Amino acid sequence: MSGLLDKATKSKETSVTKEESSEPERRESDAILTESNTPFDNGLNLTNMKFQAAAVIGFLITMILVFFIDNIVLFGGITLDDFLVPGILIWWVVFNGNSLKDKEFDTMKLVVSGVAFLVVTAAFAGIAIFNSADSGVTIGNIEYDGEEDEIDLSFYGPKGMDYTVEVLVDGKVEYSHDDTISIDKGSHSISLDDFWKGNAEDMKGDTLVEYEIRVTSDGDESSMTFDDIMNREVDTAFIKITEKFSSTSGDTSGKEYTGITVEMFVGMGNPGSNYDFSNDYFTGTTPKPIASDWSAVIAVKFSSTTKYTYDPIESDEGVANGVGEFTRDWVVLPGTESGDLARDDFYQDDGCYTFEVTLENEHGEILVDTSSKIEFYWDSNEADPDSEDDQPAEAC
């Protein structure tokens, strides 16, 4: 009996265990839930757009400057229209700058953008030509060519337009030339010998002669004066000196004169310049220096006798090789001893010495200036051992 009960109990426990094992096993997941935030992409390359926008704006400004602004000379003969080809290339590179920077070469894009730039350029050129059809030739620039002694002119106007250029001096035509505009530009050079009539201004800047360029074309007229580059003739040449000496013995003893340092100043002196020399210093009024071509010979005279003559000096636009630049200030002349004119080379006795300058202008008259007269007291000064009583050089 007890054996049957044990079997029944064991059977019940087994049944319960099976029911519990039939329930699904619950397990915790190791997965971590995260919130998804995908950035919004509108498909636009902002960096590339900045490059292209800058290129378009720069390109349009370049086209306006080249085709619609008067082509004045900027520097060295360069005008605005000289920036046409460089401008196109630069802005085309900027337009494709982002791709070129990243080395992503899309040949089709490069070609298409290049063609587009050329098409727009042609459109601007067509509009400019159409708008200028009723306008004539204008003067771009007037420059003086010191090497060739001529004026260089540049003109702007419609391609193929005939024009006449004239040089007027005080309103009278002294030179005339006919020509035709090539593309959108023309040029011409005129020798000064063809119209020179003297300096345009005097020392004070007042007008002496008026020089004017006039160009006429298809009923249109353009003119420009060029007085500022037409001061070519030297009319004054001054000389000043500095006495050179050494002490014979001790600081309070007499002097022994060894020579002079000689300097020259040339320019336009009419009206107002004057020569004066006192106490070893130039005390007059110097002329207005100019850039011009001339040759000069300086002679040192005592009474009527020439004591010394300098080698000829040749000036090209105011610059004499081996001597100096005469367009700014006094220039020291070459000496015979340590840069000075030695005493034995010119000095005879105490008295008045004339420094005569004979100057031949490339354009203008021959100048003989004898206003530089200086008196020396070397013999009398050396005879007195007391140097405090010495008489310095002065005008005579």
Supply the pLDDT for residue 24. 47
Predicted confidence (pLDDT) per residue in 193-202, tens digit: 999 999 999 9
CA dihedral 273, 278, 282, 284 (to 10 degrees): -10
- What pLDDT sits at residue 17? 45
Q: How far, CA to CA in Å, does 131 sit from each of 64, 110, 152?
A: 13, 32, 28
What's the rounded Cα separation, in Å, for the pair 138 and 154? 9
pLDDT at res. 248? 72
φ, ψ for residue 19 (rounded to 5)? -65, -40
Q: Read off the pLDDT of residues 202-248 as tens digits, 9 standing for 90 and up.
A: 999 999 999 999 999 887 888 999 998 999 999 999 999 999 998 77
- Region(s) of the chain under CATH 2.60.40.3080: 138-229
Percent of the chain with pLDDT over 90: 52
Domain 138-229, CATH 3.20.10.10 — does that match? no
Higher-confidence residue of 146 and 200: namely 200
Over residues 52-94, the pLDDT tens digits come to: 788 788 878 877 777 666 555 565 556 666 777 887 888 877 7
Q: How much is the average pLDDT of 363-372?
A: 96
pLDDT on residue 218: 82
Strand order in the sheet with 185-191: 138-145, 150-156, 185-191
Q: For the residues 5-21, what does the mean pLDDT come to?
A: 47
All residues at 6 or more sequence positions from 395 whose CB lies less than 8 Å from its CB, including other chains: 275, 276, 277, 278, 373, 374, 375
How many angstroms separate the CA atoms of 256 and 248, rounded?
Answer: 6
pLDDT of 8 above 50:
no
